């Protein structure tokens, strides 16, 4: 494969990555939110916003809460296991 063809393939790959990244947004922390006219707008990141229809959000709320609680418990259990292992190590070390 020639250098030009390799570069063209690389460009296609990068374009697909850019397109994919434009479809996914990671929200680490929200700044504020406001509701108006049947929508909720949430501010996050560098003044990015997410606007969600309240009826749809309400419909999804049960599943969202269940998923959040499940994931939080999983993360807490991982952290507790790490703490237990550290304490076990300290006790065995002494």
Residue by residue, pLDDT tens for the chain (94 residues) are: 788 888 888 998 888 888 776 777 888 899 899 999 999 999 998 888 899 999 999 999 999 999 999 999 999 999 999 999 999 999 988 7
Q: What is the pLDDT of residue 75?
A: 97
* Threshold 0.85, pTM exceeds: no
Q: Using alpha carbons only, how large is the chain's radius of gyration in Å?
A: 22
CA 6 remoteness from chain centre: 33
The residue range of the domain holding 83 is 3-93
- Our count of domains for the chain comes to 1
């Amino acid at each position: 494969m020639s250098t030009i063809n390799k570069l063209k393939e690389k460009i296609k790959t990068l374009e697909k990555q850019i397109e994919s990244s434009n479809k996914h947004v990671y929200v680490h922390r929200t700044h504020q939110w406001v509701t108006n006219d049947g929508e909720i707008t949430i501010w996050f990141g560098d003044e990015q916003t997410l606007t969600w229809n309240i009826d749809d959000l309400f419909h999804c709320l049960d599943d969202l809460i269940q998923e959040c609680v499940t994931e939080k418990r999983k993360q807490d259990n991982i952290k507790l296991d790490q703490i237990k292992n550290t304490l076990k190590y300290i006790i065995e070390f002494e």
